[in-house]
Amino acid sequence: MADLVGIYAASHGPLIVRNWDVLPAATRSTLTTAFTELGRRINAARPDVLIVISPDHWVNFFLDNLPSICIGVGETHAGPPEPWLAAFPHKQMAGHAALAQHIAAHACDHDFEPSVSYKLALDHGFCIPLWKANLDPLPAIVPVIINTVEPPLPSPTRCIALGNAIAAAVKSFPEPLRVALLATGGMSHSIGEPTMGAIDEAFDRECLQHLAAGNSDESRNTLLKFLAARLPAAGNGAAEMRNWLTAHGAAGAVGFDLIHYSAMPEIYVGCGVAAWAV
């Protein structure tokens, strides 16, 4: 049987790479420390496979074909197509088709109907955390795309349930694999809006407190009420917190450990890195 050996989350702001050389030294140091610790924890877990949950930033899908959830079931995945990520060290990344197909089948048996793709290009949302965390070796990747770009979006409740389903699928996979999960995106940020560059630090910090509160019915309901009231006003990029909620669901909503948080207007993101106990 497969084991779920680690669950993590990290922001993926493009300026972490695009503007790296001109960011303040203190910002580079803070980001390096946070991503190094993320990589240390993932490497220590020794995953054979890493499920990575991220949006698609108009690379694989557009308005004529925009699934709410898509699982990459290919044997390989292409590296990022963005020119400013040309130095990303992996032009192709190994997938794990058997586990990906198992997750998709399990989802269909448990009230989800995800799309599947045998051919995905993994954009900056996937690749910035993988790169900055310096994973060695890079595990096989099972990409899970959640639409956080164009409404209608999956509800926070649905994302937590998806995380539950992914964890159950992993644990029912018959091969002896070590599997970890990395959610990417968020926290508060605004892109292409009049509020572009604004960060809602109060939202971010209160959201982190709710994630740390555990998995009682009361704490879950409080988290969902908080998100219903505050998430829409935290910037369009804050929709990516749905990826964190999926990780939260996979962890059974327990054991949240904040590795780092900073409001970073220089990269347009409330930048968080976290892990859950498994």
Q: Active-site residues: which are they? A: 124, 189
- State how far the Cα of 197 lies from the Cα of 179, in Å rounded to an integer: 35
Contacts within 8 Å (CB) and 24+ apart, 253-257: 253/160, 253/214, 253/215, 253/219, 253/220, 254/214, 254/215, 256/208, 256/211, 256/212
Rounded to a whole number of angstroms, the distance between the first and last alpha carbons of the chain is 16
Q: Please provide the size of the chain in residues.
A: 278
- State how far the Cα of 33 lies from the Cα of 49, in Å rounded to an integer: 24
- When computed from its CA atoms, the radius of gyration of the chain, rounded to whole angstroms, is 17
Name the β-bridge partners of 76: 94
50 in Cβ contact with 180 (< 8 Å): yes
Residue 151 token pair: 């409404």
Amino acid at 180: A
- Where do the DSSP E strands lie in 3-135? 3-10, 49-54, 69-72, 76-78, 92-94, 115-117
Q: How far is CA 90 from CA 1, 45, 51, 83, 227, in A?
A: 29, 21, 17, 14, 36
- State how far the Cα of 165 lies from the Cα of 150, in Å rounded to an integer: 24
